[in-house]
Structure formats: structure tokens, C-alpha cells
Amino acid sequence: MYLDNSATTKPCDKAIENINNVLLNNWGNPSSLHTLGMYAENEMNDSRKVIASLIGAVPQEIFFTSGATEANNISILCSAKKLKKQGKRIVTSAIEHHSVLDTVKSLEAEGFEVVYIKPDSDGNISEEALSRAITPDTVLVSLMLVNNEVGSVLPVSKAKAIMKNVCPRAILHCDAVQAVGKMPINVNSLGVDLLTASAHKLHGPKGIGFLYKNKNLHLPPLTFGGGQEKDMRPGTESVPLISGFKGAVQSIGNINANLEYLNQLHAFAVEKLSELEFVSINSPENCCPYILNISVNGFRSETLLHFLESKNIFVSSGSACAKGKGSYVLAAMGKSADIIDSALRISFCKHNKEEDILLLCDALKEAVGRLKKR
């Protein structure tokens, strides 16, 4: 029973079919001028069109990368490179993914001032906190859309409204890894200049992601090569993975219907887990329903994780990138060490059922009955 979908998802049949088809039948270099190259380029361009439509963009605004980590690095470093003469203030949240936090930290070493907005105790970032942090000398704001550990939804569009009045030339970047394909997204409504995502979070392959860049925004390149992806990400494109990404997007179905189902599943999970006296809920009430963070009071996360694994139930103790370290997200929310040390992240996909929740509850009851408290 797989409940770790925020770490990665099982590739869907269409993604696998597309990858195999390109590897076997359409393996040309998309930059080649002969027929095989043209076929590969056509497949890549069709994939770009399908993926652009998912977020309300146009195809020329989509740039393929190896994943959102690379896309986040490109977004932040290229923006800083472009605007460093105008100012050196960067605003982000304290609960961003490490691919954002570590990148802005590298810019701090170069003289940039980085403001890390802390969330409230529920993991939410307030409009008031944004207003205090965003000043006229701000050149970049980077906010994730959905937090990958507790599921809080950050006020990205409100940040843009503030920026228009305070620092209209600043760039707004959004890490939307946990949101793309799971909730309706329109880059124009959000007001973002840059947005990033990875295929493997929505039943596509690993090793492929995209950077959305508003067509009116011009950024200097970070790396150099043969001119692919309009110089934003040079290097021969991986057409098999790109096509697999397209297949995953085509298999999403109705996003609103999926979201409604996940809201019901999430509510059921909260109800059943809250009935267990040893469980506390860490995710906010208004979180993205694909993620639910809990703590099993008195028991270490790692111990519980491996007990559940022995029952073929797979969850995580936080972000997969943290590799078992204590959650900096929960720490930023002001949670106690006991809560942090006993935290589990449950993350759903549209294939999970209520029966999965009931089995999880039974397994947690058994774990508490059999394991020793720390």
C-alpha cells in the first residue's frame, strides 16, 4: 500500500508506452535536420504543447530540464544574474524545498540579502508577513505553491499583487512540484514569471521536468552549449522522457474531479486518524488534500516507518530529500521536538482508497501496542 506519493509516483501506463515507443521507433536527435530528427522534434514539440496547456501557458514558454531541482536553480540564479544591479534582496519562505533554500543560500554568500518568511503554527504564510518582507529593493520572490511536507498552500498570487505596487520590476518564481497536475493552475492568474515542476510527481518518469518562463521575461543563460531550449537549458533533449511526461499529463483526467475525490479521502483520513488518541495532525485544515502530516506521539518516525514497511505500507518521515533528518518545516512551524521526532507524512494519489486509510490505522494501533516508546 503506497502512501508516499509526494516522494514519487508510480509511472502510468501511457507514460511507459510513450517512453518505449520513442526508444524503439523515434530515437533521432531532435536537432538533426534529417527525417529521424524531424520526427523526434515533432514529438518533443507536441509534448511541449500538451504540458503548456496543463498550466495555461503557450508552448514557447515551456523549457525542458532534468527536473524541478535544476529548473529551480536556473530560475533563481538567472534571475539574480539579471537583476543584481537593481537590488540584492530576495524573499522566500523558510519552508521551501532544499533546491530553493540551498540556492538562495549560495547567493547570500555572494552578497545578496535573503529574507526567510516563517510560517504560522499551521504552516501557512500570511499576506501580512509577505507585505512586511517585500520591499522596494526586492528583486526576486520565490514561493512554493504547495509545501511538500505538510501540504500548506502558499499565497503566490497575493505575493504578485504586493509586488506590483512595491517592486514591479521584481521576478516571481514558484516551485509548483506538489501542485501541477493535482490542482487547477493558470500561470496568468497566479501572476508568476517562472514556475517549475517534475514529471515523476504526477505519474511520469524521473529525470524530466520543466521550467515555465513568461514569454516577456528575458533571462541570461546559466550554462552554455548547442543552443537547445533557446539557450535556457542547452544539451540534447531526452525525447523519451519528454514523451513520457506528455503521457502522464494526458492520463491525469479531470483535475477538478480528482481534487474533489482527494478532498473526501483526506477528510476521511483526518477523521479516522484523529480517533486514535496517540495521533496528532500537523497539516493545516486548508492544506492540499494530497498531503497529510501526522505525529504518533511517543514513537520515533523511523521506527514507525520501518514497522509499517514490514506490513507493506509505505509512508515517509518527511521530505524524501531529507533522508531521515528532522523536519525543518515542522521546526519552522514551532512544533516541539517530540512532535518532529514522531512525524509521518502520508501522501495520496487518485488511486488510493478509504480501505488504505483503515489498514494504516490498524497498523498504527498494532505498532503502538508492540513497539516501545522512545
Look up cell 540579502; give the residue. Answer: 113
| Residue 354 and residue 265 in contact, taking contact as beta carbons nearer than 8 Å | yes
DSSP3 helix / strand / coil % (the chain, rounded to 5)? 45, 15, 40
Neighbours of 324 (CB within 10 A): 11
In the chain, where are the structural domains located? 58-236, 255-370
- What value does the mean pLDDT of the chain take? 95
Confidence band of 319 (pLDDT split at 50, 70, 90): low
Residues 33-81 have pLDDT tens digits of 899 999 999 999 999 999 999 999 999 999 999 999 999 999 999 999 9
| Residue 282 and residue 336 in contact, taking contact as beta carbons nearer than 8 Å | no
Q: How far from the centroid of its chain's Cα atoms is residue 91's Cα?
A: 18
Q: Is the pLDDT of residue 167 over 90?
A: yes
Among candidates 241, 246, 312, which has minimal Cα distance to 66?
Answer: 241
The pLDDT score that the predictor gives to residue 323 is: 55
pTM, two decimals, is: 0.95
The pLDDT score that the predictor gives to residue 155 is: 96
Neighbours of 262 (CB within 10 A): 20
Residue 171 pairs in a beta bridge with: 140
Length of the chain: 374
- Calpha distance 268→237 (Å, rounded): 43
Residues 329-374 have pLDDT tens digits of 999 999 999 999 999 999 999 999 999 999 999 999 999 988 876 5
Q: Where are the alpha helices (DSSP H) in the chain?
A: 13-25, 35-54, 68-83, 98-108, 127-133, 156-166, 187-190, 239-250, 255-274, 301-310, 328-332, 337-341, 354-370
Residues 138-151 have pLDDT tens digits of 999 999 999 999 99
Read off φ and ψ for residue 312, nearest 5 degrees.
60, 35
Q: Is the pLDDT of residue 117 over 60?
A: yes
Fold of 255-370: Aspartate Aminotransferase, domain 1 (3.90.1150)
C-alpha cell at 353: 482508497
Overall CATH class of domain 58-236: alpha beta
| Residue 76 and residue 104 in contact, taking contact as beta carbons nearer than 8 Å | yes
**SS3 category, 145:** coil
DSSP assignment letter at 66:
S
Interval 131-136 mean pLDDT: 97
The pLDDT score that the predictor gives to residue 318 is: 65
E strand spans, 134-192? 138-142, 171-175
Among candidates 2, 3, 6, which has minimal Cα distance to 321?
Answer: 6
Interval 110-134 mean pLDDT: 96
Neighbours of 306 (CB within 10 A): 11
- Which positions are annotated as active-site residues? 321
